[in-house]
Structure 1
């Protein structure tokens, strides 16, 4: 994901990549994807941001590493764009506190793909019209969290317009424990992990005599880049935490 972000930023005339961080970095410089230039790279985040002094840090790591890096960046007055999934409510509260304390902007999105943002937006208004809900999310085998952050956001959005949880039938017999998937507010969530997948989310809603399905498929990582670039441009204009790309799209 880091190289995709560098390529996207490098294509924008008003943006400039300044440095990179890689825990396995064994060189002092990294060539940009288009070979037009190179930037300093290091495994030491604190040292590299003090040296390069970027305005924005873009983070696609994991939940444990993300908050550590955000603390360092915030302490240096650097705005934050976070695409790492699996962040807890406690982490989001801490990010908001960091942004307020250091007077920076912080932006977090469970998904930067415009189509995924739209399916989450649509889910917000549909829940009240249906009694049953399942979410199937499919990702590559190396994804470390299950379910995905997008699946959790979909479940929360489906529940927003309801006064009670969805109906979730309990099987009388369950020879394989967990066959109905995980559960959140009555929404069953099923996670698939295997090679050949990128990121896919399907919402299946049901009520008497009918079902409605919404599906978004990520074909490659380029789909995230317009959202990332938009977040980079907007995060420097605000103070405090903003969660969700839909806020920047006016949805």
Structure 2
């Protein structure tokens, strides 16, 4: 019989947090033992979010150390905001709890700290800029294409409540393309921006453009250009249930690894 995995979720009032709670509740081998919220300490989860079709209630904590000490989880599912995520992840590792981090906006220095702590303590830790399987495949396909199409631009589109730009997915895509592509400056060498920033952010010579609009969830296009042809690779998440297959996979996998892993593509078969 598979061991039940006890999970703490951060950011339970957010859209991703609520969807994750629903997924955990409906997964036989998962047990929700606590949530971390910046408010509502001491309340029950059912007092701060609707528990329709969700059978697991639990306590709400504002202090990560108190939560981990009292609930003794196996996994911390981090879905809050970047500054809190950093603190939560380091605390989890110190308690011997395995973090799965979906929060984006963490700095390279913060990620390096988490990586070092996880590896030194031999604690599994998975950081996933995107949990959608289709988005991971999009990134892998883009990496493959970059061997043959070195001219590329990325357009990422998200809802207008997203605070970090560019998205973690766009940055991860650019990093994967970078592995297959020599740095080059694209466009006309004498190009002039008549409106500052109109050509997007620069990553190793490729441009990244961020769009924020109500009605969007998470969408990305990777556009490649060559002589007489273009190639567009696109992924769309229309709702947050699209992320739950990857979240479930990450939680199950983190229980069997003893080091830091960045990117869901590294745990897919």
Same fold (TM over 0.5): yes
CA 39–171 in structure 1, closer or farther in 2 if over 3 Å, else same: farther
Q: CA separation in 1, counterparts of 2:236 and 2:54?
A: 30
Q: CA separation in 2, counterparts of 1:56 and 1:152?
A: 26
Q: CA separation in 2, counterparts of 1:224 and 1:174?
A: 37
Q: Which residue of 1 aligns with 2:101?
A: 82
Secondary structure at 2:147 match in 1: helix
CA 33–41 in structure 1, closer or farther in 2 if over 3 Å, else same: farther
Q: Are 1:21 and 2:36 an aligned pair?
A: yes
Secondary structure at 1:183 match in 2: strand
Q: Which residue of 1 aligns with 2:141?
A: 122
Q: Are 1:30 and 2:49 an aligned pair?
A: no
- Across the aligned residues of Structure 1 and Structure 2, the Cα RMSD in angstroms comes to 1.6
CA 184–17 in structure 1, closer or farther in 2 if over 3 Å, else same: same
Q: Which residue of 1 aligns with 2:6?
A: none
Q: How many residue pairs end up in the alignment?
A: 250
Q: Are 1:187 and 2:206 an aligned pair?
A: yes
Q: Extract unaligned runs of 5+ from structure 1.
A: none
Q: Which residue of 2 aligns with 1:246?
A: 265
Q: CA separation in 2, counterparts of 1:166 and 1:228?
A: 37
- Deviations 1:38-62, CA, capped at 9 Å, x for gaps: 1111212211111111000000122
- Deviations 1:214-243, CA, capped at 9 Å, x for gaps: 110110000111110111111011111011
Secondary structure at 2:197 match in 1: coil
Secondary structure at 1:201 match in 2: strand
Q: CA separation in 2, counterparts of 1:166 and 1:60?
A: 36
Q: CA separation in 1, counterparts of 2:173 and 2:187?
A: 16
Q: CA separation in 1, counterparts of 2:266 and 2:238?
A: 24
Secondary structure at 1:162 match in 2: coil
Q: CA separation in 2, counterparts of 1:30 and 1:213?
A: 43
Q: Give structure 1 regions of 4+ aligned residues with deviation exceeding 4 angstroms.
A: none
- Deviations 1:124-161, CA, capped at 9 Å, x for gaps: 11112124211111111110100001011111122211
Q: CA separation in 1, counterparts of 2:63 and 2:145?
A: 46
Q: Which residue of 1 aligns with 2:27?
A: 12
Q: CA separation in 1, counterparts of 2:83 and 2:187?
A: 32
Equivalences for residues 154-173 of structure 1 within 5 A: 154-165=173-184, 167-170=186-189, 172-173=191-192
